[in-house]
Structure 1
Amino acid sequence: MSEAENNQLHAYLPILRGYKLLKFCYFILVVSLYSCGDTKTDKTTEVQSTETSIETVETLPVKSKTILCFGDSITAGYGLDDTNDAYPALLQHTIDSLQLDFTVINSGVSGETSAGGKSRIDWVIKQAPTVFLLELGANDGLRGVPLTETRANLQAIIDVVKNKSPKSIIVLAGMELPPNMGLEYTTEFRKLFADLAAKNNIAFIPFILKDVGGIASLNQRDGIHPNVAGHKLVADTVWEVLQPLVL
């Protein structure tokens, strides 16, 4: 090879190297794009799988009927370590065992009076329950609230339910007071609930603490609020009235 040809070859070497480098970069680019395409496909598949899972969850059957327990500390399960031991939760267990289409809602507030219930009923009744269980009045009696006031408040609650949720079945839970409140007051207090139930033609539980009230072994230390065993009996008492309404 002549010196001139050798010099010409050396002149083209950088161009050849550049061409080889360009081909190598092009190869890397193609591989990268291909990999990105696979990743995109995988992500799309993952999103589709997630959407399918969500759709499956949304199509699960939801209970359409409700039983709303509107009350005081007895309904709320005051003093229990677990509110799942309170009678509303026990009612739910019974209902589930019978595979009935009902959800029990615990709307109990400890210390609630009939006046307090009257003040919050407009908001609570927006849930339009299938069954509305009214359990209030005990705190009125223990505080010596005039019976005319308790009666008026309970009637006002019943009226709101009838007007704003006319399809709701109303159940009134009766209450009794300990004898130290005086014979006349306790007698009239007991009668108040029976009169309201008859006047409004609604289902009636004569005494929600039947076989529990005044029995030390079935109540907490305060002698007023049922313990776990007591709530089981309360649930049985309530179920006797609820059962024909939900079956």
Structure 2
Amino acid sequence: MKTILCFGDSLTWGYDAASLGRHALEDRWPSVLRATLGGNIEVIADGLNGRTTAFDDHLAGADRNGARLLPTVLMTHAPLDLIIIMLGANDMKPWIHGNPVAAKQGMQRLIDIVRGHDYPFDWPAPQILLVAPPAVSRTDNAEFKEMFAGGDEASKRLAPQYSALADEAGCGFFDAGTVATTTPLDGVHLDAQNTRNIGSALAPLVRVMLEL
């Protein structure tokens, strides 16, 4: 049995901008990844709306700071063979920081947590696959336009930053923007087909990393 943890935000949770609800379970990218891989694989989806890499956002009742939550999540689901981290879109909000370099530093913090965690029973740290989310796009949605002001340009620089970090840190890397685009309904989230695209596209890379 191989166990994969998908640690992300609303793109992993499956937020549906059309219904203002949640995509069907079978349409969320972690579910598609599991179905595509087949075999003796467990894929755990841990997505939280608004989650950042390593920064506070007190506008919701949930703790959205990924770095603060990750140690507990790692302990909850250990042992893990692979963790897929797709975060950074919410870092583009101007009141978070809106800076792709800061998001890269946040991802570095998450890598350090995964590799430095005190796992029970001397279990090894999992491999890490960094995923750059699709870039924020222009939208006529007044609220999201303001929430992510400047994010359309800043988020285009996430993939190069994450790719360089993955090379430096010895992690896997995938640019989800090569297979998925955000919906113009809000400029941030994915329709069902685009979130499915990410799960399908990740499967070959996961097979290589886990030697499946």
- The answer to whether the superposition gives a TM-score over 0.5 is yes
User: 1:85 and 1:220, CA in 2 relative to 1: closer, same or farther beyond 3 A?
Assistant: farther
Q: Which residue pairs with 1:191 in the alignment?
A: 160
Query: Superposition pairs for residues 117-128 of structure 1, below 5 Å?
Result: 117-126=66-75, 127-128=78-79
For 1:112 and 1:175, how far apart are their aligned partners in 2? 13
Displacement after TM superposition at 1:66 (Å): 0.6
What is the correspondence of 1:197-208 to structure 2 with a 5 Å cutoff?
A: 197-205=166-174, 207-208=175-176
> Residues 88, 197 of structure 1: CA spacing in aligned structure 2 closer, same or farther, 3 A cutoff?
same
Task: Give the distance between the partners of 1:149 and 1:194, measured in 2 at CA.
Answer: 14
Structure with the larger RCO, 1 or 2 (CA within 8 Å, 6+ apart):
2
TM-score, normalising length: structure 2: 0.73
Q: CA–CA distance in 2 between the matches of 1:82 and 1:187?
A: 28
| Structure 1 position 209 matched with structure 2 position 209 | no
Quickly say closer, same or farther: Cα 1:184–1:136, change in 2 above 3 A: closer
The separation in 2 between residues aligned to 1:135 and 1:77, in whole angstroms, is 13
Which position in structure 1 is the counterpart of 2:147? none
SS of residue in 2 equivalent to 1:70: strand
Map of 2:46 onto structure 1: 107
Structure 2 residue 35 is matched with structure 1 residue 93: yes
Structure 2 letter corresponding to 1:119: R
Check the 8 A contact 1:67/1:129 in 2, yes or no.
yes
Number of positions where the alignment pairs a residue of Structure 1 with one of Structure 2: 176
SS in 2 for 1:114: coil
Task: Give unpaired runs (5+ residues) of structure 1.
Answer: 1-63
Provide the C-alpha distance between the structure 1 equivalents of 2:92 and 2:8, rounded to a whole number of angstroms: 14
**Which residues of 2 match residues 143-182 of structure 1 at below 5 A?**
143=94, 144-164=97-117, 166-178=124-136, 181=150
Q: What is the root-mean-square deviation of aligned Cα atoms in Å?
A: 2.4
1:220–1:226 contact (8 Å) kept in structure 2: no
Structure 1 segments of 4 or more deviating over 6 A?
Answer: none
Q: Retained in 2: the 8 A contact 1:210–1:234?
A: no
Secondary structure, counterpart of 2:158 in structure 1 = helix
Code of the residue aligned with 2:69 in structure 1: it is R
5+ residue gaps, structure 2: 17-21, 55-64, 139-149
Between Structure 1 and Structure 2, the one with more helix by share is 1
Which structure: greater strand fraction? 2
- C-alpha deviations, 1:98-140, integer Å up to 9, x for none? xx22100001111111121101011011123111101111111
How far is the alpha carbon of 1:240 from its aligned partner?
2.8
Which residue does the alignment assign to 1:242? 206
Kept in 1, the 8 Å contact 2:88–2:103? The answer is: yes
- Which residue of structure 1 aligns with residue 7 of structure 2? 70
SS in 2 for 1:236: helix
Work out the percentage of aligned pairs sharing the same amino acid. 26
**SS state at 1:209 partner:** helix
